Amino acid sequence: MTAVTSPPPETPARIARGVAGSGPRRRRRVHPGDWLLPLLAVLAFVYLFVPIAYTIAFSFNDAPRANRVWQGFTLDNWREPCAAQGVCEAVATSLQVGLLATLVATVLGTALAIALVRYRFRFRATTNLLIFVPMATPEVVLGASLLTQFLNLGVPLGFQTVVIAHIVFCLSFVVVTVKARVATLDPALEQAAADLYAGPFQAFLRVTFPLLLPGIMAAALLSFALSFDDFIITNFNSGNVDTFPKWVYVAAVRGLPAEANVIGSAMFVIALLLVAIGRLASLRRRAG
Amino acid sequence: MAVAATGHVSGPGDPAAGGPPPPAERPGRAPYGLLAPGLLWLVAFFVAPIAVLFVTSLMVPVPGGDIGQFQPALDVGNYAQAITEYWQVFLRSFWYGLLATVFALLVGYPLAYVIAVRARGRPTLQQFMLVLVIAPFFTSFIVRTLAWRQILADEGPVVAALQAVYILPADGRLTATSIAVVAGLTYNFLPFMILPIYAALGRLDLRLVEAGQDLYANPFTTFLRVTWPLSLPGVVAGTLLTFIPASADYVNATLLGNPGTRMIGNVIDAQFFNVVDYPLASAISFVLMAAIVVLVAVYVRRAGTEELV
């Protein structure tokens, strides 16, 4: 790989300037990149947020059934987000699946990540491949293959099969995310803990784990987001159980009720708030 | 997934770095306790299902049996049918996937560059923009795709505006067209493009760019000869993370397209749930997976990065 990890040698031009060491910084010519790039970035953000703005706006639309044309402002949809049949059960299922899948995937994935970075063993390359391939497998294939297995084994489709399926695709993402964090850790820290008579378990709990925590949290968040948003794999393996995306997909056939907009908007706002709180907390911790 | 891109995870304690080898790294014996749970899960619920899928793809219907009853066989007829009957759908899926990938790269690269390079040194702004890239995930992607359907609808603002400036004929439309499907695919997988490129550009040493300028390269040449090659691992990861799910997606084709924009995911879904022809559906899935593996292998060779794993 071409990534540069160490500072490059000084270029002759820089050295020359350094020797000269006089005068203000060379004035840069203003070229199109200076204003064009921020403009493109803003346009990309607009593209990302147009449908979200639409979703939020139409959560206040006074048209509970076929939420297509603007009929007037109302707060009714927000007052009773569970008015549409099955929507809140579906959200509850999604949250449960997301939490369970995230918990299992994070524990299994963190263990795999530590093993892969810290140990050299014979089938390490195979293990890496086994973790990479599920990420490169299309969701339809992942969903279809699990479905055929569950059908063959006679496992009834439902909540459990959805959780099992979600853990599979969350696991790989957790491993990759945590691996990057483990690689930044200095093994000498654990050695220091051992020198201070900490057992391996204590060293892990008091030294390694706190240092890994940011990576683990990021992995867990990613895992939850992937699980909560998944439709295709869920649709193959859920039987009669509805998750929120599946409920929306089915309900949209008859015209999407405004409750879907309310839930979508609320999830968006809650996620942003959680991130903001986390950011504030870390800023305060650093300041204190 | 940002980190999937970086891929660059070397073990600690490079022998070249000198000094004693790091004590925590024990060569030889595998850490079975750490590996076993995760690997068992992957073998039981990824490797085994793929094997079952393959066995299923060779099955034939039980003679005189009900719909959905099949018996083991070694029949490659399903593969022949998958290819002869659906080769156009395969080509269309990969074409849409390719278009979505190119558009996502065109939209995503400048944004990733601004976040990683222009906002460098302003961590709060950088964090804020990163959160904005990930935030759409939390509004369900089905909800967002349905929002696009309304925005692009015949009575919606975009069609009216395009008709007003005669880009779109008076009876023209956007929903139920291939344009809407590709736009939806581009939209849905854009964050998967942005994050790996951001990760790669985040490691870009600006002194190299400066060196290019000092050597009197113009900004375009500097970008082409310095920035772009250094961001290539991120670009490769981002294009893969966009192309693979985009070409196998069926939600956008269902919600934003018409029967003529059907993608291979639609066919697999229908064969499983409507036609209940599991062997044919399995064969199509397998052809899809094989095609993607071949395309990805060729592409990664070409791009010259093999550090994704």
Query: pLDDT tens digit string along B128-181?
Result: 898 889 888 888 889 999 999 888 887 777 887 788 787 777 777 777 888 999
C-alpha separations of A138 from B100, B225, B261 in Å: 16, 34, 19
Q: If pLDDT is split at 50, 70 and 90, which confidence band does A64 have?
A: low
Interface of A with B in 167-196 (CB under 8 A): 167-168, 171, 173, 175-177, 179-180, 183, 185-188, 190-191, 194
Q: How far apart are the CA of B146 and the nearest CA of chain A, in angstroms? A: 8
Chain-wide mean pLDDT for chain B? 83
Q: For residue B3, which of A217, A177, A85 has the smallest C-alpha distance? A: A177
Judge whether A170 and A226 are in contact, CB under 8 Å.
Answer: yes
Q: Give the closest of B48, B151, B187 to A54, CB-based.
A: B151
Q: Are the CB atoms for A177 and B3 separated by under 8 Å?
A: yes
Sign of CA dihedral B209, B212, B214, B220: negative
DSSP string, A35-64: HHHHHHHHHHHHHHHHHHHHHHHHTTBS-S
- Minimal C-alpha gap between B164 and chain A (Å): 20
Average of per-residue pLDDT values in chain A: 83
Nearest by CB to residue A4, choosing from B10, B127, B230, is: B230
Cβ atoms B1, B192 nearer than 8 A: yes
| Helix (H) / strand (E) containing A77 | helix A76-79
Q: How far apart are CA B190 and CA B194, in angstroms?
A: 6
Per the CB < 8 Å rule, is A139 touching B245? Answer: yes
* Beta-strand pair B60-61/B27-28: unpaired
Nearest to B138 among A2, A115, A225 (CB): A225
The two tokens of residue B261 are 């924009």
**Nearest neighbour of B110 by CB, restricted to A37, A226, A244:** A37
Nearest CA of chain A to the CA of B171: how many Å?
A: 20
Residue A127 CA neighbour count, 13 Å, CB half: 28
User: What's residue B158's pLDDT?
Assistant: 80
User: CA dist B152 to A229, B64, B144, B169, B264, Å?
Assistant: 23, 49, 12, 15, 24
Check whether A235 has a pLDDT greater than 70.
yes
Structure tokens at B20: 């004693």
pLDDT digits (tens, 9 = 90+) for A100-157: 999 999 999 999 999 998 888 888 888 998 998 898 899 999 999 999 999 889 999 9
CA distance B269 to B280: 11
| Backbone CA torsion sign across B202, B207, B213, B216 | negative
Of the candidates A11, A51, A232, the beta carbon closest to that of B148 is on: A51
A184 Cβ contact list (under 8 Å, min separation 6): none
ipTM of the complex: 0.81
| φ/ψ (deg, to 5) at A120 | -105, 120
For the whole model, what pTM was predicted?
Answer: 0.83
Residues of A in contact with B230 (CB under 8 A): 2-4
pLDDT digits (tens, 9 = 90+) for A3-22: 444 444 444 444 444 434 34
**Tokens at A75, concatenated:** 């707060």
B217: closest CA of chain A, how far (Å): 13
Do B42 and A171 make contact, defined as CB atoms within 8 angstroms?
yes
The pLDDT value given to residue A19: 38
Whether the CB-CB separation of A21 and B222 falls below 8 Å is answered with no
Q: Provide the terminal-to-terminal Cα distance of chain A, rounded to the nearest Å.
A: 40
What pLDDT is stored for residue B9 in this prediction? 35
CA A113, CA A176: separation in Å to the nearest integer? Answer: 7
Do A118 and B10 touch, CB atoms closer than 8 A? no
Q: A–B: how many Cβ contacts below 8 A?
A: 333
Amino acid at B42: L
Q: Which two tokens mark B172? A: 């023209």
Contact B207 A245 (CB under 8 A): no
What are the tens digits of pLDDT across the range B254-273?
Answer: 999 888 889 999 999 999 88
C-alpha separations of A90 from A79, A82, A166, A250 in Å: 18, 10, 16, 12
| Kind of pairing between the strands at B60-61 and A120-121 | unpaired
Per-residue pLDDT, A23: 42
Given this model, what pLDDT does residue A288 score? 59
How many CB atoms lie under 10 A from the CB of residue B2?
Answer: 26
Helix, strand, coil % (nearest 5) of chain A? 75, 0, 25
Cβ separation A14–B29 shorter than 8 A: no
The beta-strand segments (E) located in chain B are 27-28, 60-61, 70-71
For residue B305, the chain A residue with the least C-alpha distance is A1
pLDDT tens per residue, range A193-234: 888 887 777 888 888 888 888 889 989 988 998 999 899 999
Which DSSP letter does residue B45 get? I
pLDDT given at position A173: 92
> Of A13-17, A140-144, B282-286, B302-306, which gets the smallest average pLDDT?
A13-17
Interface contact A220, partner B, CB < 8 A: no
With a cut of 60, say whether residue B307 has pLDDT above it.
no
B4 falls in which pLDDT band (50, 70, 90)? very low
